[in-house]
Structure 1
Amino acid sequence: MPEDEKTPAREIITDYAQAHFRYFRTADGTVYAQRNGHPVARPIRSQGTTGSHRQELMVGLFKDGLGVFNGTALKEALDLIEALALSQAVQPVHIRVAPGYDGSTWLDLGRNDGQSVRIHPKGWDILTPDPQEVCWRRTQLTGELPLPAKDTDGKGIDALLRLCNFANAETECLALAWLIGCLGPSVPVPAPFLTGPQGAGKSTGGRMLVRIIEGMSGDLRRAPKDEENLIAAVAAGWVTALDNLSHLPPDLSDAMCCIVTGAENVKRALFTDGDVVRSRYRRPLLLTGIDVGVIRPDLAERLLPLRLERPSVRRTEAELWVEYADVLPVILGSLLDLTVTVRAAQADIPTDLRMADFAHLCAQLDAATGLGALNAYRAALDDLNDDVIEGDLLAQTVLKRAAGTAPGEEVRMTSTEWLHALTQLYTGEDCRPLPKGWPTTGKVFSDRLKRLQPTLAARGVLVDWGRTKTARYIEMTRTAAPAPEQPDPMF
Structure 2
Amino acid sequence: MANTESLNQVIRLLKYEAAHNKCYTLYNRVAPDPTGDGSIWLDMADAQNRAYRITKEGWLLETDVPILFRRYEHQRPLVEAVKGGDAKLLLPFVNIGANKSSITTQHRQLLLLVQTASYLIPNIAHPINAIFGGHGSHKSLAQRYIRELFDSSAALLLGIPRDENAALQVLDHHYIPIFDNLSYMPNWFSDMLCKAVTGAGQESRVLYTDDDSFIRSFRRCIMLNGLNLPATKGDLLSRTIMHPTEPVDKTLTEKELNEKYAKVLPEILGGFLDVVVKALKLKGTLGESKLFRLADFTEWGRVLAIALGETQGNFMEAMEENLRNQNSVDIENNVVAEVFLAYCKEAIETIWATEEQPFTSTPSEVFAQVTTKAQEIGVNVKNSKRYPQGANLFTRKLNDSKAAIIASGWNYETTHNGQYRVISIWNITNPLEKTITTMINSVENHTKLLEAS
TM range (shorter): 0.7 to 0.9
Q: CA-to-partner distance for each residue in 1:174-217, whole Å, 9 max, x for gaps?
A: 11111121111111111111111110111110100111111364
Q: 2:264 maps to which residue?
A: 327
TM-score (structure 1 length as normaliser): 0.77
Q: Which amino acid aligns with 2:83?
A: K
1:370 aligns to 2:320 (yes or no)? no
2: distance between equivalents of 1:86 and 1:337?
Answer: 40
Q: Which moved more, 1:314-323 or 1:237-246?
A: 314-323
Q: CA deviation at 1:141?
A: 2.7
Q: Which amino acid aligns with 1:165?
A: N
Q: 1:255 aligns with which of 192, 195, 198?
A: 192
1:425 aligns to 2:373 (yes or no)? yes
1:392 aligns to 2:334 (yes or no)? yes
Q: 1:140 maps to which residue?
A: 73
Q: Which moved more, 1:332-341 or 1:417-426?
A: 417-426
Question: Which secondary structure state, in structure 1, belongs to the residue aligned with residue 52 of structure 2?
Answer: strand
Question: Which secondary structure state, in structure 1, belongs to the residue aligned with residue 352 of structure 2?
Answer: coil
Q: CA deviation at 1:123?
A: 2.1
Q: Which residues of 2 match residues 295-310 of structure 1 at below 5 A?
A: 295-310=232-247
Question: Which secondary structure state, in structure 2, belongs to the residue aligned with residue 462 of structure 1?
Answer: strand
Question: Which secondary structure state, in structure 1, belongs to the residue aligned with residue 76 of structure 2?
Answer: coil
2: distance between equivalents of 1:465 and 1:349?
Answer: 34
Q: Which residues of 2 match residues 163-312 of structure 1 at below 5 A?
A: 163-167=93-97, 168-215=105-152, 217=154, 219-292=156-229, 295-312=232-249
Q: CA deviation at 1:85?
A: 2.1
Q: 1:126 maps to which residue?
A: 61
Q: 1:379 aligns with which of 310, 316, 321?
A: 321
1: distance between equivalents of 2:164 and 2:139?
Answer: 25
* Long gaps (5+) in structure 1: 1-8, 11-69, 486-491
Residues 288 and 433 from structure 1, CA distance in 2 versus in 1: closer, same or farther, beyond 3 angstroms? closer
Q: Which amino acid aligns with 2:96?
A: F
Contact 1:99 1:106 in 2 (8 A): yes
Contact 1:348 1:363 in 2 (8 A): no
2: distance between equivalents of 1:431 and 1:239?
Answer: 40
Q: Which moved more, 1:71-80 or 1:247-256?
A: 71-80
Question: Which secondary structure state, in structure 1, belongs to the residue aligned with residue 123 of structure 2?
Answer: coil
1: distance between equivalents of 2:173 and 2:295?
Answer: 27
Residues 75 and 342 from structure 1, CA distance in 2 versus in 1: closer, same or farther, beyond 3 angstroms? same
1:158 aligns to 2:107 (yes or no)? no
Contact 1:349 1:363 in 2 (8 A): no
Contact 1:414 1:474 in 2 (8 A): yes
2: distance between equivalents of 1:293 and 1:192?
Answer: 10
Question: Which secondary structure state, in structure 1, belongs to the residue aligned with residue 78 of structure 2?
Answer: coil
Q: 1:463 maps to which residue?
A: 412
Residues 72 and 198 from structure 1, CA distance in 2 versus in 1: closer, same or farther, beyond 3 angstroms? farther
Question: Which secondary structure state, in structure 1, belongs to the residue aligned with residue 79 of structure 2?
Answer: coil
Q: CA deviation at 1:150?
A: 1.3
Contact 1:365 1:373 in 2 (8 A): no
Q: CA-to-partner distance for each residue in 1:23-49, whole Å, 9 max, x for gaps?
A: xxxxxxxxxxxxxxxxxxxxxxxxxxx
Question: Which secondary structure state, in structure 2, belongs to the residue aligned with residue 332 of structure 1?
Answer: helix
2: distance between equivalents of 1:108 and 1:478?
Answer: 52
Q: CA deviation at 1:424?
A: 2.5
Q: 1:15 maps to which residue?
A: none
Contact 1:347 1:367 in 2 (8 A): no
Q: 2:447 maps to which residue?
A: none
Question: Which secondary structure state, in structure 2, belongs to the residue aligned with residue 86 of structure 1?
Answer: helix
Q: CA deviation at 1:392?
A: 1.8
Contact 2:134 2:227 in 1 (8 A): yes
2: distance between equivalents of 1:91 and 1:415?
Answer: 53
Residues 176 and 479 from structure 1, CA distance in 2 versus in 1: closer, same or farther, beyond 3 angstroms? same
1: distance between equivalents of 2:92 and 2:203?
Answer: 44
Residues 429 and 192 from structure 1, CA distance in 2 versus in 1: closer, same or farther, beyond 3 angstroms? closer
Q: CA deviation at 1:374?
A: 2.4
Q: 2:16 aligns with which of 55, 75, 83?
A: 83
Q: CA deviation at 1:349?
A: 5.1
Q: Which moved more, 1:399-408 or 1:462-471?
A: 462-471
Residues 130 and 313 from structure 1, CA distance in 2 versus in 1: closer, same or farther, beyond 3 angstroms? closer
* Long gaps (5+) in structure 2: 98-104, 439-453
Q: 1:355 aligns with which of 266, 271, 294?
A: 294
Q: CA deviation at 1:76?
A: 5.3
Q: 1:48 maps to which residue?
A: none
TM-score (structure 2 length as normaliser): 0.83
1: distance between equivalents of 2:393 and 2:228?
Answer: 28
Calculate the aligned-residue CA RMSD, in Å.
2.8
2: distance between equivalents of 1:399 and 1:389?
Answer: 9
Q: CA-to-partner distance for each residue in 1:262-298, whole Å, 9 max, x for gaps?
A: 1212233313343333211211100111115771111
Residues 72 and 321 from structure 1, CA distance in 2 versus in 1: closer, same or farther, beyond 3 angstroms? farther
Q: CA deviation at 1:77?
A: 3.7
Contact 2:58 2:274 in 1 (8 A): yes
Residues 267 and 349 from structure 1, CA distance in 2 versus in 1: closer, same or farther, beyond 3 angstroms? farther
Q: Which amino acid aligns with 2:68?
A: C
More relative contact order in 1 or in 2 (CA 8 Å, sep 6+)?
A: 2
